[in-house]
Amino acid sequence: MCSSFSRGGIVLCLLLASSIGTFGAVIQLTDGMTYSNAAILQRDAENVQIQVHYGEIKVPISSVKSIDGVAVDQLTLPPAPSPETGNSATTDVAAAAMHPLPGPLGPTNSTTVGLAPAPPLRPAAIAPVKYVHNFKMDLFLLVFGVITAIWTGMLLWVQRDVAELFADAPREIKRWNAKVLLLPGLGLWWYLCARSAKIAQQEDVRAKSLSLSRAPASQATANPPVKRGLFSGRVKFSMPFRSKKKQVEFEFLDDDGKSIDIQRDSPEMTGIEAAHQVLQEAITERASDVHIDPQDKDYHVRFRIDGQLQERMVFEKVDGQRVVSSLKVLAQIDVAEKRKSQDGRFRVRTSLHDIDFRVATTYSMYGEKMVVRILDRKGGMLGLGDLGMPKPMMETFDRVIHSRSGIILATGPTGAGKTSTLYAGLGRLDTRHFNVMTVEDPVEYHLDGATQIPVRPKAGVTFESGLRSILRQDPDVIFVGEIRDSETATTAIRAALTGQLVFSSLHAQDALNTVVRMQQMGVETYQIASALLMVVAQRLVRVLCNKCREPYPASGTELLSLGLELPKGQTIYRAKGCATCDNTGYHGRTAIFELVVLDDELRRGISDGLNQQALADIARSKGWHSYREDGVTKILNGITTVEEVLQAG
């Protein structure tokens, strides 16, 4: 009996010791947060996965300052997965890079962990990872061991006394045993619960302090930090907080610009605080879209930055649903309807400008998915010089937009910056002496002196009807956001032929393909030939991060793939990745252009019904360059990479 009693005590002690022993590493993040009792589960070139008391979190390497006192840039990182090394090699390296996990009450003074043999092509990874000894943890375990010994001794002592006192009542002995063993057990359980709650709360406070209170006091009054509702909006994992950029404060407006009275206590709005945080991060990070994707067990939030999706946050399933439902309320769409695709919009007002959000939901296997498109008019209109157009092209563009009548078209994929280019042109016009009218979906820029009409299908305002109403308003210059159907196409061409200058955009592969597209939309070739002034085609390419771009001599194959003859060995640049650019190697985007200005010969060619190839031959004989050629100039200037230009098409 005696032995069973003390055995129980020892088991409890061992349990506590092992739970602490496995959390040995001290991980410091760049934003000041420290995880003291963490265990490193896995580490690769980009992320460290660590286990803390309340769960696992994934931290990008760029956000880690040090591990056990060693600065992260002094730790040798295992290589990123590559076709040469294969996945298994990478896993071995990652496993070997794990922090040593000491056994229960075991010594923690293992200092060096060797890495598995490095893959042949990456000799840099052979160096062993060195960990600095954690003396604090040693001391803790020593004290813990002493307490355990004293406790075990006390248990034996109590056991002896009880056995003497209740020698004739074995049931009483059992009751005492239970009491003495259960009480410390309960205490231990309470301690661990309180501890994980405290860590979770610190994490929450950290998130709040970084995202909500960073703005100066003058701006903070625009939308005071929201009070805590039923839902704390705790993000399971979120790393945008590493950005030291100033967060924008804002208030929510409805589609008409009236302030929305947010019923924070209503059940649909319990996620508003987290939704606010998501949008704030997205704006700060220059995201163009926010994807809120339901998965099997949680919700993933991804931002589209410079055209690429990047995962930024993970919410618990229920919290993700709350965020989605709050955004639905803001966008004035039916919260109860979860199966039908819906769309809506809302606006936020910052101290500087308004930002429009367009929300679209769809039903999916694991729940409702939402995409929020951010239309940030912050930058305002770009000047002609800011577009990234080569100078001679810019001068031609500027000359043609000052024509009195005709149609100017921009073409390229969605989100390629067509509107920015056309607005840069509109901005050059004298809006005081011309009646400039636009119909757009949505209005992306504010143009002083112009009448801008947003498309509202529900109110009966479409591109076509908007354009027809503009024509009754004695316009000089008309901007039609997009020509999508034959009615709009023919109306726009007719306006261009009757003395108005029309700007519009159209989906086509390249500049000369627009002629074919116009014909397919039912516009007569003679009308195109006489109305069309100029076509700008553009694609976006990512701009190399100038902190980390890497020069190298161009190889023959690269130049061949671009179809160009250039001296082999010409220095060009490739993307590398650093903390400034979130390890992408790129920061921001620019456009590559091609410009076709119609002259008599091309007009004759169009009305004679020449095919695209024949038209291209004529254009080329006049010195026309494709956007790939503009792309090559940008590669040689170190603005972008070969991959980006090839990918642009």
Question: Contact positions toward Zn ion, by CB under 5 A?
Answer: 545, 547-548, 578, 580-581
Asked whether the beta carbons of 140 and 20 are under 8 A apart, the reply is yes
Q: If DSSP codes are grouped into helix, strand and coil, which group holds residue 406?
A: strand
Residue 368 φ then ψ, to 5°: -85, 125
Task: Identify which of residues 179 and 547 has a Cβ nearer to Zn ion in the complex.
Answer: 547
Q: If DSSP codes are grouped into helix, strand and coil, which group holds residue 590?
A: strand
Task: Identify which of residues 77 and 207 has a Cβ nearer to Zn ion in the complex.
Answer: 77
Minimum CB separation from Zn ion for residue 575, in Å? 8
Write out the two tokens for 155.
Answer: 């248990």
Tell me which amino acid residue 201 is: Q
**Position of tokens 């955004």?**
327
Task: Identify which of residues 162 and 548 has a Cβ nearer to Zn ion in the complex.
Answer: 548
Task: Identify which of residues 581 and 635 has a Cβ nearer to Zn ion in the complex.
Answer: 581
Write out the two tokens for 365.
Answer: 């296997």
Tell me which amino acid residue 242 is: R
Minimum CB separation from Zn ion for residue 581, in Å? 3
The CA–CA distances, whole Å, from 197 to 192, 201, 202, 504 equal 9, 6, 9, 57
Minimum CB separation from Zn ion for residue 312, in Å? 18
Minimum CB separation from Zn ion for residue 48, in Å? 20
Minimum CB separation from Zn ion for residue 532, in Å? 42
Tell me which amino acid residue 421 is: T
Determine which helix (DSSP H) or strand (DSSP E) holds 453, and give its type and residue range: strand 451-454
Please give the radius of gyration of the chain, using alpha carbons only, rounded to the nearest integer.
33
Task: Identify which of residues 473 and 580 has a Cβ nearer to Zn ion in the complex.
Answer: 580
Minimum CB separation from Zn ion for residue 271, in Å? 34
Task: Identify which of residues 97 and 581 has a Cβ nearer to Zn ion in the complex.
Answer: 581
Minimum CB separation from Zn ion for residue 240, in Å? 17
Tell me which amino acid residue 197 is: A
Minimum CB separation from Zn ion for residue 577, in Å? 6
Write out the two tokens for 117.
Answer: 């043999």
Asked whether the beta carbons of 17 and 101 are under 8 A apart, the reply is no
Asked whether the beta carbons of 445 and 422 are under 8 A apart, the reply is no
Q: Using CA atoms, how far apart are residues 648 and 4, in angstroms rounded to an integer?
A: 74
Tell me which amino acid residue 219 is: Q
Task: Identify which of residues 547 and 568 has a Cβ nearer to Zn ion in the complex.
Answer: 547
Q: What DSSP assignment string belongs to 28-75? A: EETTS-EEEEEEEEEE-SSEEEEEETTEEEEEEGGGEEEETTEEGGGS
Q: Look at residues 56, 59, 31, 34 and name the one whose alpha carbon lies nearest to residue 44.
A: 59
Minimum CB separation from Zn ion for residue 576, in Å? 7
Asked whether the beta carbons of 319 and 231 are under 8 A apart, the reply is yes
Closest-CB residue for Zn ion? 545
Q: Measured at the alpha carbon of residue 433, what is the angle toward residues 428 and 438, in degrees to the nearest 5? A: 65
Task: Identify which of residues 513 and 640 has a Cβ nearer to Zn ion in the complex.
Answer: 640
Write out the two tokens for 538.
Answer: 């553009």
Task: Identify which of residues 53 and 587 has a Cβ nearer to Zn ion in the complex.
Answer: 587
Minimum CB separation from Zn ion for residue 547, in Å? 4
Strands 436-440 and 586-597, sheet pairing: unpaired
Task: Identify which of residues 463 and 573 has a Cβ nearer to Zn ion in the complex.
Answer: 573
Minimum CB separation from Zn ion for residue 73, in Å? 14
Task: Identify which of residues 578 and 646 has a Cβ nearer to Zn ion in the complex.
Answer: 578
Q: At what angle do helices 612-621 and 600-607 cross, to 10 degrees?
A: 170
